[in-house]
Amino acid sequence: MFIALTGTPGCGKTSVSGLLENEFGYRVVHLNELIKSENLFIEEDKQRDCVVTDLDVVQKRLSPIEEFENPVIIDSHMAHLIADISIVLRTAPGELKKRLEKRGYKPAKVDENIEAECLDVILVESVENCEMVFEVDTTGRSMSEVAEDVREIIDSISPGHPPLDKFKPGAFDWSGEIF
Ligand SMILES: Nc1ncnc2c1ncn2[C@@H]1O[C@H](COP(=O)(O)OP(=O)(O)OP(=O)(O)O)[C@@H](O)[C@H]1O
């Protein structure tokens, strides 16, 4: 079973999935690293500083581990296009901007990502593609707190367990913060 840990760049996917992997023993695929290390991309988009990926190729590469009994977490901003269950990390625009600027992103790339977060782009794609979608707030919270929430969600995904209301999608509205 694949579980997407997804969200706009800078929301903390890699940091949180690292904790889930190293401290809680989950199996994690860091998809963006895998795509680069195994050249699973079609081309590099130098202008947008990213790679263009063929999802069919990626899916084929991951298919041997899809049948694992234990959940496999996929860390990537496109993981929700592959998994049936999506956990979307959300970060308020002001905090996301600070994190992206700290990483040295160019202003245009910061703006593009902030706009995507304000417009719920990844959440909408998740709802369109996945059977189950959860949202977790990372704003003003430690990575450990976020990792605990993700763990609680994964524990809840078992037959007969009621969905956890507190992570129901639709809690955030940052549409008023688009500049
Ligand atoms: N909960 C948090 N609180 C404060 N800072 C955080 C938090 N989570 C992540 N960060 C910081 O934000 C930055 C981005 O985190 P990270 O690389 O995990 O994000 P990401 O979603 O994986 O981004 P990308 O999609 O670009 O790989 C890092 O500098 C990290 O230390």
Q: Where are the domains of the chain?
A: 2-159
C-alpha span between 162 and 47 (Å, rounded): 45
Reported as a single tens digit per residue, the pLDDT across 68-101 is: 778 999 999 999 999 999 999 999 999 999 999 9
Confidence at 123, pLDDT banded by 50, 70, 90: very high
Q: Looking at per-residue confidence, does 51 or 179 come out higher? A: 51
* Closest Cα to atom 6 of ligand 1: 12
Q: Give the pLDDT confidence score for residue 158 in this predicted structure.
A: 78
Average pLDDT over all residues of the chain: 93
Give the CATH class of 2-159.
alpha beta
Place of tokens 């707030």: 137
**CA 14 to ligand 1 center in whole angstroms:** 7
Does residue 17 have a known ligand-binding role? no
Give mean pLDDT, residues 135-139: 98
DSSP annotation of 159: T
* Closest Cα to atom 10 of ligand 1: 12
Q: Give the pLDDT confidence score for residue 19 in this predicted structure.
A: 98
Residue 138 Cα: closest atom of ligand 1: 1
pLDDT of 179 > 80? The answer is no
Reported pTM: 0.94
Reported as a single tens digit per residue, the pLDDT across 44-55 is: 878 777 788 889
Best probe residue, ligand 1, of 5, 11, 14, 15 (max atoms within 8 Å of C-beta): 15
Residue 133 CB contacts under 8 Å (≥ 6 apart), including other chains:
80, 85, 86, 88, 123, 126, 127, 169
Residue ranges around ligand 1 (CB below 6 Å): 7, 9-15, 77, 99, 103, 138, 141-143, 146
Does residue 13 have a known ligand-binding role? yes
